[in-house]
Amino acid sequence: MEKKNKANLALGISAAGCVGTLALGGVGFLPGLLQHGFLAATIGGLADWFAVTAIFHKPLGISYRTDILRRNRQRIMEAIVQFASEDLLSTEHIMSILSQQDTGRLMAEYLQQRGGREQVQTVVTAVLLRSAAELDTQALARELAPAVRQGLQGFAVEDITAAMLTRLAEEQHSQRILQSLLTLSRQVLHAPAMQQVLLAHVTVLREAYERDHFGRNFLMGLLGLDDARILEIFNENLDAWLDKMLGGQTESYAAVRAGLEMLLRRLAQDESLQAMLARGKVQLLERIDIEGLIAGWMEANLKSEQPFWLTPLHTFIDQQIDHFCQSATLQRHFNSFLQAFLREELEKHHALIPQLIRERLDDLTDDQLVSLVESKVQDDLQMIRINGAIVGSLVGMGLYLLVSLAERMWGL
C-alpha cells in the first residue's frame, strides 16, 4: 500500500474513532481516554495534511500562504541550483570522492577481466577502418606526390652505384662474385637448351672441317669422333677448367679476378656511366605517374576489410595493454593523469552545471515541477501525516491521563 493511502487510512480511522466514541458519550475512563486519543489524532492528522498539501496545492481552496512551491518557484529553483552546483556537485566534493578510487587498478581489472581488451580492440579497429574507408586517396596522393618526387630526385643513384661498384671491387666481394659467375656458368653449360645449341655448332664446325677432305672424314670416323663425342670432350674439358677456377688456386683464376676487380673500379669511376644513370633517373621520373601509384597503393592496401596493418595493430594494442596491466607505475601515472584531467575539466566547465540544472528546471511547467518534487518527497511527507496522527493520539491520551489524575488527586 502506498504511503499516501496509509496516511489517508490513518486519518480516516482517527476521524471514525472520534465520531464513534463521541456518539457513545465518552462516559468512563476508557471511553474518555479513547475519545481524546482519537480526537487528538484527528486534529494532528488534519493539521499535518493541511501543512503537507499546502506545499504543493491549495488545501480546501485556501490560497493564503499555501501553494508554496508555485509561489516561490524562482527562489526555490535558485536554491536548488546553488545547492547542486556549489555543494552536491562542487569540484572539491566530486574530486574528494574520485580521490578515494584507484582508477589505474580499476582500468587494469576492466581490461583483463571485464572484456575491456576486446572493447578497445573493437573500437580502435572500427575507428581506423572507418577513417581508412573515408580517406580521399586522390587528394592525399596529390599532396604526397611532390614530396615523393622530390625525394626520388634527390636519390643519388649514380653515387650509390659508384660506391657499390667500389665496394664490390674489394677482394672478399670480388671472390664471391667470381665464384657465383663460375657456378652459374657450369649450370648454364649443362642446361639442355645450351647443350642443344652447342651440339648444333659442333655439327656445323665438323661439317666445315670435313668438307671436300676425304682424309679428314676418314680420320674422324676412325677415331669415333662424332658430334656427340666431340661435345662430350668439350664438356669434360670445360668442367675441368671450371673446377680449377672454382678451386681458386690457378693463375687464370687470379687473372680473371684481377680483371673483374679492375672492371668494377673503372665502372665506378666512369663519368659517362654516372651521367647515363642520372639521365635515366630523370627520364624515368618523368614517365612515372607517382600520384597514380601512391593512390593505387593506398586503395589496394588501406581500403579493405582486412588491411595489412590490422594484425600488427592488434598485436601492438595487446602488448600495450599487457604492459599497462603488469606495471604498477603506469597505473599510478594513469590514476594521477586522470584525476588531474578531471579536475581541470571540472574547473573549466563547472559553470555548465548550474546552467544545465537551471535550463532543465526552466523547461518544466509549474504543474510538472510540482509533480516532480512531490513524487520525490511524497513518501517522506506522508510519513509526517502518519506520525502526526500517532503523536497526536498519544498526546491526547497523555493529557487526558494527566487531567484524570489531577481530578482524582485534588478532587477537581
Answer yes or no: do 235 and 321 share one domain: no
Report the amino acid identity of residue 247: G
Answer yes or no: do 244 and 182 share one domain: yes
Band of residue 279 on the pLDDT scale cut at 50, 70, 90: confident
Q: Are 177 and 170 in contact (CB under 8 A)?
A: no
Domain-ending residue, one of 320, 349, 378: 349
What is the 8-class DSSP label of residue 351?
T
Nearest-angstrom CA–CA distance, 275 and 277: 5
Answer yes or no: do 178 and 277 share one domain: yes
Which pLDDT score is estimated for 27? 62
Answer yes or no: do 69 and 164 share one domain: no
Q: List, in order, residues 6 or more apart from 65 with CB less than 8 Å away.
A: 54
Query: For the ranges 159-163, 305-309, 322-326, 342-346, which has the lowest average pLDDT?
Result: 305-309
Answer yes or no: do 125 and 70 share one domain: no
Answer yes or no: do 179 and 231 share one domain: yes
Report the amino acid identity of residue 305: E
Which pLDDT score is estimated for 323? 92
**Residue 117 placed within a domain:** yes
State the maximum Cα–Cα separation within the chain, in Å, rounded to a whole number. Answer: 181
Band of residue 389 on the pLDDT scale cut at 50, 70, 90: confident
Answer yes or no: do 175 and 280 share one domain: yes
DSSP string across 63-102:
-TT--HHHHTHHHHHHHHHHHIIIIIT-HHHHHHHHTTS-
C-alpha cell at 333: 601515472
Answer yes or no: do 240 and 214 share one domain: yes
pTM of the model: 0.49
**Residue 146 placed within a domain:** no
**Residue 111 placed within a domain:** yes
Q: Are 330 and 323 in contact (CB under 8 A)?
A: yes
**Residue 273 placed within a domain:** yes
Which pLDDT score is estimated for 236? 85
Nearest-angstrom CA–CA distance, 364 and 275: 84
Domain-ending residue, one of 243, 271, 286: 286
Nearest-angstrom CA–CA distance, 231 and 225: 9
134 sits in which H/E element:
none
Answer yes or no: do 130 and 239 share one domain: no
Average pLDDT along the chain: 81
Reported as a single tens digit per residue, the pLDDT across 189-220 is 888 888 888 888 877 777 776 666 656 566 66
**Residue 94 placed within a domain:** no
DSSP count for the chain of H helices, then E strands: 20, 0
Answer yes or no: do 164 and 276 share one domain: yes
**Residue 13 placed within a domain:** yes
Range of the domain at 120: 103-135+309-349
Task: Give me the sign of the Cα torsion angle 80, 82, 85, 86.
Answer: negative
Reported as a single tens digit per residue, the pLDDT across 31-41 is 778 888 888 88
Q: What is the mean pLDDT of residues 243-253?
A: 78
Answer yes or no: do 189 and 118 share one domain: no
**Residue 166 placed within a domain:** yes
**Residue 91 placed within a domain:** no
Count of domains forming the chain:
3
Answer yes or no: do 220 and 187 share one domain: yes
Q: Are 135 and 301 in contact (CB under 8 A)?
A: no
C-alpha cell at 133: 574507408
With 0-12 / 13-18 / 19 or more C-beta atoms within 10 angstroms meaning exposed / middle / buried, residue 35 is buried
